[in-house]
Structure 1
Amino acid sequence: MGFSASHICFQAGSKAILDDVTVQVQPGEMVAVLGPNGAGKSSLLKIMAGEQRFFSGQLHLNGRHYGDWSAGEIARMVGVLPQSSELVFPFSVAEVVMLGRLPHSTGRVRDREIVSQALQLLDVAHLSEALYPALSGGEKQRVQLARVLAQIWEPCPAGERFLLLDEPTSALDLSHQHQTLEVARRLSRDGAGVLAILHDLNLAAQYADRIVLLGGGRLVAEGTVDQVLVPEQIRALYDIDVTVMRHPRENRPLVVTL
């Protein structure tokens, strides 16, 4: 069981965006995908989310080929938070989060309970009646994550749940960056698999179980935080001098630029 993308190749015109990339996430783990701009991170996530079909390679979800599942089944197992979500209709925040319950038939009472819990978890319950287009960028990001969490809130009879996050902390202040990744990690501890594209190496070191490092559309490294976040590898990929030390309070690496 799990969610895997195997030997993925993807081109835009004559340019190779992804070249023989294999990534998998298992239930109960949080995987961070790192790499410089143009590494192919977002393209990989779009392929795994079913948004990009013109690629070669294989996707498998919970022991079956991705295409063998119906769209409804996938929606109940896989939640996707894109980099940005455009929504110009004057929906309230609660209505936006309720959209996450569309794949389900659990009834309005239970759906409202889930929406309320998701709003509280992402610290946006006080905005439930506010109009979504009037929110700040960070508030919109948290509301959209609440919507995605509402979509995969409960275990699914069809198979394990997975959460795909494309730069979920990009519009957030420091406090909400940690809150968002803590929520994602908590979901993984509850049995879901989480794959998150991140830019901050130290956030990845703090929250991820494994790290996948992409560079130039290829898989550069994959492994535990300690295996991947080493100075030589970071220096070669990002073209910057760093040192990696142990965090003063936590047993994890801390990347410091020189």
Structure 2
Amino acid sequence: MDDASLCQLIREALHDPNKAKALALMIDQLPVIKAYLGKGWLPYYDEAVPMTERDVERNIKRFPKMYRLNLETVNCQNASEAANVRKHFINWVVMILKRDCHDVSRRANRQIIISINTPIGEDGSTLEKTIDSSETLNPNDTPRLSGLDKMIAEEDFLKNQEQLALMVRLLDKNLSNCYPDGYSKANCYELFKRRVLKKPPQQWRDIAEELQISLGTVTSHWHRKCKPMLPNIE
């Protein structure tokens, strides 16, 4: 979209909710947004951009106030004026998008808290019993769970890949059995590995392509089915 058209759409969005929605949905079509976002935030872009679109749609009236723009008097057919509006709008959107990417990153790195009495086996065994029995394990068996309470309480628990992998193995069965109809490869365990364990997290578009599933189906399954199984990941 050229500067004049974007300027006009922004001006109309201030008074028309439908135009505000159209403006928000256009964000993903502006390549410059990703260019200004920075590579460090790109892994979170796919999940963050719907949040940013909602923020822009709801708060578009704040945009001109923040940059002291009087869009009622701006001449969108004037190249320099339209370019100035575009520059400030891009800066505003990128600022919101970075904040939303940060929120996505923070949620992805939040602890997974599992009760020590949570059943983890078909026989009803719990983490507490597993810890007690770990005294007899040899080096080739599952690593000991001593100090589990301390690890769970630490803020950077997810960064400890070895210990987190152990927790995932304990949850493996339930997560693996939850998947969209006809797409067993896109089970919650697989999505959890790609979106939480992997650093940086794999982008949703890449996951959808590799698992041969539509982007909407895989993200919907993650939010509706997988996250409730992991209470502390919103």
Q: TM-score range by the shorter chain?
A: under 0.3
Q: For the pair shown, which has the larger CA radius of gyration, 1 or 2?
A: 2
When you count strand as a share of all residues, which structure comes out higher? 1
TM-score under structure 1 normalisation? 0.25
More helix by share: 2
TM-score by length of 2: 0.27
* Higher RCO (CA 8 Å, separation ≥ 6 residues): 1
